[in-house]
Amino acid sequence: MKDAFGTPQSLLILGGTSAIGLATARRLVARRTRTVWLAGRPSPALESAAAGLRALGADVRTVAFDALDSTSHEEVLGKVFAEGDIDMVLLAFGILGDQARDEAEPLAAVRVAQTNYTGAVSAGLVCANALQEQGHGSLVVLSSVAGERARRANFIYGSSKAGLDAFTQGLGDALHGTGVHVMVVRPGFVRSKMTAGRAETPLATTPEAVAAAIELGLRRRSETVWVPGALRLVMSALRHVPRPLFRRMSAY
Amino acid sequence: MSVDTVSVTGWGRTAPTTARLIRPRSYEEAAAAVVECAAHGARGGIARGLGRAYGDAAQNAGGSVLDMTGLDRIRRIDAEAGVVVCDAGVSLHRLMEVLLPLGWFVPVTPGTRYVTVGGAIGADIHGKNHHGSGSFSRHVLSFDLLTADGEVRTVPSGTDLFDATAGGMGLTGVILSATVQLLPVETSLMCVDTERASDLDDLMARLTADDHRYRYSVAWIDLLARGASTGRSVLTRGEHAPLDALPSRARRSPLAFSPGRLPAAPRFVPDGLLGRTTVGLFNELRYRTAPRARRTGEIQKLSAFFHPLDGVPHWNRLYGRSGFVQYQFVVGYGQEDALRRIVRRISSCTGGGRGCPSFLAVLKWFGDGDPGWLSFPMPGWTLALDIPANLSGLGAFLDELDEEVAAAGGRVYLAKDSRLRPEMLAPMYPKLARFRALRAELDPLGVFTSDLSRRLSL
């Protein structure tokens, strides 16, 4: 169960090797979280992520989960929920893709969309239903500022996040009053291995900062969290910039 | 019997969860509801009274919550012996309305009249008279308990099942009715002495010196005061006023009971209304308006002495959307240093640089402990404080206080808890293993379950 400050005792991370996911887990394990499920494709990285959290004192279990294999989600995630209540699900999987290649190879672009959007829709709904069944819990979904307005430089990734973001908002409305809390997290440019070697955009942040914002959002039962918070203002301004001007601004 | 799906929180309004709210109107309906809880998946059910437990003791995510307030009949009053038999859903407020005109008072009342008899037993509540009278269950002769098998057992005091249920947070079963021994009173008014204590040591000295002369005693502490005045407080102690202490006008209807109520707190209050500044001003005012020297023999209404907050319905809303947590702990005699350290830490706490604004902090001392296995009181000092839940760093701060309390052999009060770490429970409650064993035997399927029991693996 969550405590009065929204800190979960059990956590399921979809995308168990995600830098933001693991930073969040480390932060929560330092508070109340004792049970962590890391869902992801079996790999040494997943095992070492689990070992890292175990070293902090958590009871960590891994589960084979493939975002692209939507038909398996019900069964795989159902098993996790059957083991006991999950106080918080962090939907953290996603791929950035390679914009230039993805534009040239439509199937590569489809893979980005299927992972970030279709996979999240099925996994998100499976978890939402399970959370609703248990009458409590938070579903935290990692969106991105990239989904707020399509940019030339990463519109394939951005459009998948836009879909995910809209889906999550709607899901939050659907679950309002059921005891399940749905929170969209929109980080800006996060310095992590996913973005290594890419040009930073202004207001860049770190996985640890995102984790801190998630913990605060849990305490406040927020529905939308921007990281850093200033992005809320920046993006609401950018949303209204005329397209010819926006094109010139986001040419990089 | 109505059934709704609703979002439920405790009085502190934190951590809402959803449950099916079942409202039985008879013992038979309650028994049917328990059978249904057992059948409805593995999420179980828990009895709920007027929802004054601060944390998650009377909520049950994904399962059922039995709203017992529909079972509110007073079944029998023995006006000679002062014994009442009533349903578990009867509030202490109702009992006072009915019993005071007959010259009887509830043996123990907490800071609110709006708790049910079932809840009073389940949390084994205490009042300002614990040092002499013990907790509520000490005055309960027996109760009828609906257990997980759907049977009703009459449980007399002195038995294991009684001691597991008194303070057992509703996890042994649903209390249907109780037989309670009452306290005779001549009037419905209180004779109250008020004095100031300049700091914590002064307060403890005054409490120790002459508390035995008073039936009721409580100290309100200004936890925002620092330095030399850390722990400055206002001490109010009293006794039921005898008839001859009343002014002649009041003697005409000495047992009248008419508590006034102000308008309810508004539904929406911004977070931070009860911040450091407002609470600081309030505390200053409260301390300054208390008499410098002891004021004795003041005649007060019962409600003003016992239940000042009941005058503002829904006062819990004043903490805003984020709600608040109440922290109440007890440390035994001889652990005064631990108490001093904790008070100093709270007074100098700067959660997010904003200080730890405690609007209501109350210190009193407990007499002998009570037999309930998970009963909170033990001989020693108890401090209770309210803190807005949105204060940053509060969770970690209270965890540190838990360590200090446990190291001093003390414990925190489960009826007020909403954030204790599960591993702290066993050191604080030595009879926990016994409680778990009895519960495993009585309710092997875990039909009686609450968010509290899940959170703490009770």
- The rounded percent of chain A whose pLDDT value lies above 90 is 88
- Please, which residues 105-144 of chain A have a Cβ atom closer than 8 Å to chain B? 133-136
pLDDT in tens, A205-252: 999 999 999 999 999 999 999 999 999 999 999 999 999 999 888 654
Q: Where are the alpha helices (DSSP H) in chain A?
A: 19-29, 44-54, 70-82, 99-104, 106-113, 120-134, 155-175, 207-220, 230-238, 243-249
Strand order of the sheet with strand B74-78?
B74-78, B83-87, B174-181, B140-146, B152-156
Cα angle B93-B94-B95, degrees, rounded to a multiple of 5: 90
Residues 6+ positions from B168 with CB-CB distance below 8 Å: B122, B372, B373, B374, B435
Instruction: Look at residue B355 and tell me whether its pLDDT is greater than 70.
Output: no
Region A95-116: mean pLDDT is: 96
Nearest by Cα to A86 from A146, A47, A142, A126: A126
Residues of A in contact with B422 (CB under 8 A): 9
- What pLDDT score was predicted for residue B264? 85
- List C-alpha distances in Å: A188 to A150, A158, A204, A235: 14, 12, 6, 10
B392/chain A closest Cα distance in angstroms: 9
Region A116-130: mean pLDDT is: 98
Measured from the Cβ of residue A20, the count of other Cβ atoms closer than 10 Å reads 28
Select the highest-mean-pLDDT range: A190-199, B310-319, B366-375: B366-375
**Residue B439 in 3-state DSSP?**
helix
Cβ B61–A85 below 8 Å, yes or no? yes
Instruction: Look at residue B353 and tell me whether its pLDDT is greater than 60.
Output: no
State the pairing for strand pair A88-91/A137-142: parallel
Please give the sequence-ordered ranges of beta strands (E in DSSP) within B99-215, or none if there are none: 104-105, 140-146, 152-156, 174-181, 183-184, 189-197
Measured from the Cβ of residue B81, the count of other Cβ atoms closer than 10 Å reads 10
A57/chain B closest Cα distance in angstroms: 13
Q: What is the mean pLDDT of chain A?
A: 95
Lowest mean pLDDT among A119-133, B75-89, B118-132, B220-234: B220-234
- What pLDDT score was predicted for residue B58? 97
Q: Are B166 and B26 in contact (CB under 8 A)?
A: no
A176 token code pair: 């309002």
Q: What does chain B come to in residues?
A: 458
Region B431-436: mean pLDDT is: 97
Instruction: Look at residue B170 and tell me whether its pLDDT is greater than 60.
Output: yes
Crossing angle of the two packed helices A120-134 and A155-175, in degrees rounded to 10: 20
A198 token code pair: 């890419």
pTM over 0.90: yes
State the pairing for strand pair B380-388/B324-332: antiparallel
Cβ B323–A4 below 8 Å, yes or no? yes
Rounded to two decimals, the ipTM of the complex is 0.91
Selecting from A32, A85, A216 the residue whose C-beta is nearest the C-beta of B454 gives A85
Q: What is the mean pLDDT of chain B?
A: 93
Select the highest-mean-pLDDT range: B283-297, B339-353, B401-415: B401-415
Measured from the Cβ of residue B75, the count of other Cβ atoms closer than 10 Å reads 11
- What pLDDT score was predicted for residue A234? 92
User: DSSP secondary-structure letter at B448?
Assistant: B
**How far is the C-alpha of B364 from the C-alpha of A144, rounded, in Å?**
52
pLDDT in tens, B259-272: 877 888 888 888 88
**What is the torsional sign of CA B66, B69, B72, B78?**
positive
Mutate to test the interface with B, among A2, A5, A223 (most CBs of B within 10 A): A5
State the pairing for strand pair B380-388/B361-366: antiparallel
The one catalytic residue among A37, A157, A167, A226: A157
Q: Are B159 and B364 in contact (CB under 8 A)?
A: no
**Amino acid found at A192:** S
Instruction: Look at residue B348 and tell me whether its pLDDT is greater than 60.
Output: yes
- What pLDDT score was predicted for residue B350? 62
Q: Are A116 and A95 in contact (CB under 8 A)?
A: yes
- The rounded percent of chain B whose pLDDT value lies above 90 is 77
Residues of B in contact with A220 (CB under 8 A): 322, 390
Q: Are B34 and B145 in contact (CB under 8 A)?
A: no
Residues 6+ positions from B172 with CB-CB distance below 8 Å: B145, B147, B161, B164, B165, B438, B439, B442, B443, B448
A31 touches chain B (CB under 8 A): yes
Region B40-63: mean pLDDT is: 93
Cα angle B134-B137-B139, degrees, rounded to a multiple of 5: 75
Please give the sequence-ordered ranges of beta strands (E in DSSP) within B9-92, or none if there are none: 17-23, 45-48, 64-67, 74-78, 83-87
- What pLDDT score was predicted for residue B456? 97
- What pLDDT score was predicted for residue B292? 86
pLDDT in tens, B400-427: 999 999 999 999 999 999 999 999 999 9
**What is the torsional sign of CA A140, A142, A145, A151?**
negative
B425 token code pair: 């429970």
Peptide bond into A228 cis (omega under 30): yes
Q: How confident is the model at residue A32 (pLDDT cuts 50, 70, 90)?
A: very high
- What pLDDT score was predicted for residue B311? 87
- What pLDDT score was predicted for residue A251? 54
B333 token code pair: 């005699």
Please give the sequence-ordered ranges of beta strands (E in DSSP) within B198-322, or none if there are none: 216-221, 233-240, 295-301
Q: Are B29 and B419 in contact (CB under 8 A)?
A: no
Region A111-115: mean pLDDT is: 97
State the pairing for strand pair A35-40/B183-184: unpaired
**How far is the C-alpha of B383 from the C-alpha of A153, rounded, in Å?**
59
Cβ A3–B12 below 8 Å, yes or no? no
pLDDT in tens, B172-201: 999 999 999 999 999 999 999 999 999 999
Q: How confident is the model at residue B216 (pLDDT cuts 50, 70, 90)?
A: very high
